[in-house]
Structure 1
Amino acid sequence: MAGPEPIGHRPWLSSPLDDDDPLSEILRRLPPRPSSLPQASLVCKRWRDLAASPQFLRDFRVFHRAAAPLLGFFHNTNLGGPDRRFVAAADPPDRVPAALFRMPCGRNHKEWKFLDCRHGRVLLIGSVGPRREVLVWDPMTGARRCTPVPPDAGDVRQGAVLCSCGLARDCRSSPFRVVLVWWIGTTQHWRVAAAIYSSESDAWSHVISVETQLAPTVLVTQRNARKPGVLVGDAVYWLLPESRILEFDTVRRSLSLISGPVHSAGSPYWQSHLVLTEVKELGYAMFMVTEVSIKLWKRDTGNAAGWSMHRSVRLDKCLPRMPMQAKPSLLGFHEESNAIFVWINAGLFLIQLESMQSRMLCQGVGDFEIYPFSGFYHRDAAGTQADDACSHGLPIATLTMWHYEDPEGDLHGPFSMAMLHRWRSNGFFPEDLRVWRTDETKEQAVLLTDAMRMPCY
């Protein structure tokens, strides 16, 4: 009777994980969080090589394209250096370092304004001047493309960057389009104009324009009020003051103005925002201060008013208690996760409208111009920006970006460091006063005396 076969000679059954094809399928289905692939790469060298291969990363982005994670947001507030224009939206280990999103414009970053973030790309416009340009930037790879604005472009206030690949391809390697909208005319007679840039032809389309009946106060208010647009099908919508909405149809190449819900008439601009409903229809959100809730309307062409009530979302369980004189703001909307950015005196909060989960992102301010950015971060593929440790131009001490809490628990700010230094010299502050920046939370506060000694502060 033969004895047992020696262990060293037994034929081992191969594991499915020894084959790159099923392993690739398994890894592709990992959650698209920034930490997923790095953690999988720790298993062994073969997993690490597969997770870092360009082909796998392309497949991973295509597979999760409809659910790209929110990494954070860019903003148009000057808080110092070029790495201070991005605020991360996730906790470790999924928190992406802000330094990786250092502005591609270097020391001139203050002369550039964000207009849109979409499909992993960012759209910026340069300052007013003879060589105004728009810049399309991929923060994940560092790739950028710059082109002059149309020769007749006036006061550009809205813009959008759109991918042409659909859901079956990777946006990162696909052509894109840029939409710019500007206003031309006099105090009593205004026209709105738009043009589309194609990365394939490297050219702008002819200018489309339409006469408007907007009151002069709308345009004056809108000069200092910008919010990102919302993409619904083939059309982009931007919210204007006095509950007016600008629509640009990218297929028909047409511009039109529509009115918001009747109940939104007279509501403050910063307490309203355009959103998407669960079935990707155009929605209109308005903060109701007395009820601590958000009213949501949806576009309804079958309704004589053009809108119908969609739902009401109570926020009293999602937000800290607000003082009676509070003036909350709706500052942004993330289309992929159906989440809205709400600012109150306590800080800027991200609220997921389905689960009603909320988290504080930073202190923020009531007119914070923010542009949510979602994408697929992989540390080995992320682009790097040129080092520029300090911002030059305005002295850092003069930037109004510091907040503090008084002994009664009330929050104050933003103030400049020069102002805080003067108040401290006059004996208004205790020695243990702690301060934090607009792009930070109270939990990140440092002693005022330490902040005054920090480089680039």
Structure 2
Amino acid sequence: MPASSHRPSPASPLEDDNLLPQILLRLPPDPSSLPRASLACTRWRDHVANPGFRRRFRLHHRRNPPLLGFFDGCGSLDFHPTLEAPERFSLKRDEGDGVRRPLGCRHGLVLLLVPKPLQVIVWDPVTGDQHRLDVPQGLTMNECYESVINGAVLRAAAGDAEHFKVVMVAADGDGVENRRAVACVYSSETGAWGGFVTAPIPYDADAHASGLFWRFSTSIYIDHAMLAGDSLYWQLIGNFEGILQFDLERQSLSVMSVPVPIYSKGNCFKLMRAEGGGGIGFLLMSNSDYIAQLWRRKTDSDGVA
């Protein structure tokens, strides 16, 4: 008796539609992947254009996103791609925006400061989405000039590709000795700014012995924030040389000193995540003898750093 041959029946359109999204999810997470896939046929375009699919696509690749490039400059925001096929990002500019100062990029979002009116822009370069937020009144005791504030943007939670948070910080007070740090958090989930969080900034009476800026009130340096663990960190420059920490979980603000004079003549200072175990660290380089020091902050069993 001859063996019967069996051919699998072709997949039904319903089965194919259930399998196709799983295949498309595994496309490379480059910005050009989904637009190119949408050109294949109508069915692919319908899947790719579905907001639910695009959300799953971002979640699927959230652990290993590609480095698309970096922005350079102020105002023009020139983009330098790292991919073979250059991506072009265009930020819509409103009349009267003036020079926009980038405050940093994180989790696929760019945060920009607009001086007039005093606002921040949260921009997703890939999708083109923009959110304009007024900087909250009262962030500083005096007029909130854009040169004395800084900020950072980040996704609200791991795996949440829709919501974001903005943390704005400032150093404020009267004179050199009476200074404080202030922070405020915006949540896209509530659509509102939270309350102000403050911390005193110490006055360093001996700063003139080593620092270059001891005559000036302590302010937050223009460098972008560094994220390590559950905290954001900024440099403090002026009479008090140190680091400003904002704990995202506890919603608390604190000021820490550094173990070496970081702004002496010829020194270069940069915050960084510490190697091995995470946490905060910094790179200190002397331009006079070209010696680099890597520092890492440790905490003992009693919680003393």
> Is the structural similarity TM-score above 0.5?
yes
Whether the aligned pair in 2 keeps the contact of 1:76 and 1:85 (CA below 8 Å) is yes
Paired amino acid for 1:258: M
Give the corresponding residue for 1:229: 225
Q: Which runs of 5+ in 1 are unaligned?
A: 79-83, 308-457
Whether the aligned pair in 1 keeps the contact of 2:263 and 2:269 (CA below 8 Å) is no
**How many Å separate the matches in 2 of 1:214 and 1:29?**
55
**How many Å separate the matches in 1 of 2:223 and 2:297?**
19
Shift in Å, 1:62: 0.3
Give the corresponding residue for 2:210: none
Q: Say if 2:165 is the partner of 1:177.
A: yes
Q: Can you list the C-alpha shifts for 1:43-80, whole angstroms capped at 9, x where unaligned?
A: 655445434443322111001112222222234434xx
Give the corresponding residue for 1:203: 192
**How many Å separate the matches in 2 of 1:116 and 1:249?**
18
Distance 1:46 1:211, change over 3 A: same
> Greater helix percent: which structure?
1
Alignment of 1:18-417 (within 5 A): 19-38=16-35, 46-78=43-75, 84-93=76-85, 95-97=86-88, 100-102=89-91, 104-106=92-94, 108-127=96-115, 131-154=117-140, 155=145, 156-167=148-159, 169-170=160-161, 173-174=162-163, 176-185=164-173, 186-213=175-202, 217=213, 220=216, 225-241=221-237, 244-260=242-258, 262=260, 266=264, 270-275=268-273, 277=275, 279-287=277-285, 295-302=293-300
Distance 1:91 1:117, change over 3 A: closer
**How many Å separate the matches in 2 of 1:221 and 1:268?**
21
Please give the secondary structure, in 1, of the residue aligned with 2:23: helix
Distance 1:24 1:287, change over 3 A: farther
Whether the aligned pair in 1 keeps the contact of 2:242 and 2:255 (CA below 8 Å) is yes
Whether the aligned pair in 2 keeps the contact of 1:123 and 1:136 (CA below 8 Å) is yes
**How many Å separate the matches in 2 of 1:271 and 1:86?**
25
Shift in Å, 1:195: 1.5
Shift in Å, 1:113: 1.7
**How many Å separate the matches in 1 of 2:152 and 2:215?**
19
Please give the secondary structure, in 2, of the residue aligned with 1:66: coil
**How many Å separate the matches in 2 of 1:89 and 1:146?**
25
Whether the aligned pair in 2 keeps the contact of 1:123 and 1:137 (CA below 8 Å) is yes
**How many Å separate the matches in 2 of 1:219 and 1:177?**
35
Distance 1:39 1:152, change over 3 A: closer
Shift in Å, 1:227: 1.2
Please give the secondary structure, in 1, of the residue aligned with 2:54: helix
Distance 1:281 1:64, change over 3 A: farther
When normalised by structure 2's length, the TM-score is: 0.74
Paired amino acid for 1:121: L
Whether the aligned pair in 2 keeps the contact of 1:72 and 1:89 (CA below 8 Å) is yes
Please give the secondary structure, in 1, of the residue aligned with 2:30: coil
Shift in Å, 1:85: 0.6
Whether the aligned pair in 2 keeps the contact of 1:275 and 1:285 (CA below 8 Å) is no
**How many Å separate the matches in 2 of 1:42 and 1:279?**
45
Whether the aligned pair in 2 keeps the contact of 1:178 and 1:196 (CA below 8 Å) is yes
Aligned residue pairs: how many? 285
Superposition CA RMSD, Å: 3.9
